[in-house]
Amino acid sequence: MSGSLDGVSIVVTGASSGLGRAAVVELARRGASIAVVGRNPDRTEEVARLVDGTAFVADFDHLDEVRELADALLSHFDRIDVLANNAGGLIGKREMTDDGFERTFQSNHLAPFLLTSLLLPRITESHGRVLSTASNSNLIARLDLNDLGFEHLPWRGGWRAYGTTKLETILFIRELARRTAGTGVTAYSFHPGYVASNFGANIPIMNFAQFISAGNLGLSPEQGAEPLVFLASTADVGAESGAYFSREHPHGRTKRLADSEATAKALWEKSVELLGL
């Protein structure tokens, strides 16, 4: 990979708005072939037309749709050079999906774990890269492998669950890097900064903060997309596979538990079990 992305195939989830949309616009400008993945059909199609890419519609609240997405991507692309797991969000009220999992846990961790697992053989063939959008909210995580759905842990407006899934993202990427060592695959997670988008749109305090800031709270989507674009387009990012970046700087601040190889392995095995992989 280099600054020019001619001939490079990149899959970006959560690409119909916000930093995902901004990222695919820039990656396409550099010549990449883009799979635009989103759950809103109209917005996803619109972005795909804008970047001369291909639209794929999937709602991560439904794991069957994730499996169908993987099948469609494998049918469409002979190679996948980069998978950017960017979909997910903050959910204010604890809710369950039809699959039987808490929504934050499913959309932010289980669904991208499933998609990555299903696409990994094709990514490995391409000596590709897996990226996942994490957050410095991992610092407020409270990870209990026996209560991944926050059935007993305090909800706290969804923030604690969100931060916990972002810790899970970092652990997932670190374990993925360990398991793919020597294959040519690289994997990184990153904190994009707080981006002024529809993130947390169902959270009253977020709406209030946007109101009093006249919509100027946080980075622009284009600024928020910069770490994703950097990691997707730069061969040598200056850090080992599995590293967590804060913006474009490696070794961002994490919960101490993020360094636990035993926890990363246990989370991986638990995820495999829950998904029946």
Reduced 3-state DSSP string for 52-83: CCEEEECCCCCHHHHHHHHHHHHHHCCCCCEE
Phi-psi region of 161 (alpha: psi -120 to 50; beta: other; left: phi over 0): alpha
Residue in this structure with the two tokens 């070794």, named with its chain if needed: 251
Q: Return d(Cα 150, Cα 152) in angstroms, integer.
A: 5
- Would you place residue 164 in the very low, low, confident or very high pLDDT band (cuts 50, 70, 90)? very high
Q: Return d(Cα 158, Cα 148) in angstroms, integer.
A: 13
Q: Mean pLDDT, to the nearest integer, of 225-248?
A: 97
Q: Mean pLDDT, to the nearest integer, of 34-48?
A: 98
DSSP 183-198: TT-EEEEEE---B-SS
Q: Mean pLDDT, to the nearest integer, of 258-262?
A: 98
Q: Mean pLDDT, to the nearest integer, of 139-160?
A: 92
Q: In sequence order, what are the beta bridge partners of 37?
A: 13, 56
> Does residue 112 have a pLDDT over 60?
yes
Q: What is the pTM of this model?
A: 0.91
Report the Cα 154 to chain-centroid distance in Å.
Answer: 24
> Does residue 166 have a pLDDT over 50?
yes
Active site (catalytic) residues: 162
pLDDT for 216: 45
Q: Return d(Cα 262, Cα 118) in angstroms, integer.
A: 24
Report the Cα 112 to chain-centroid distance in Å.
Answer: 7
pLDDT in tens, 115-130: 999 999 999 999 999 9
Q: Return d(Cα 158, Cα 101) in angstroms, integer.
A: 15
For the sheet with 9-13, list strands across it: 54-57, 33-38, 9-13, 82-85, 129-133, 186-191, 244-246, 249-250
Q: What are phi and psi of 133, to 5 degrees?
A: -75, 115
In the chain, where the domains are located = 9-275
> Does residue 140 have a pLDDT over 80?
yes
Encoded tokens for 220:
């622009």
pLDDT for 144: 96
Domain 9-275 fold: Rossmann fold (3.40.50)
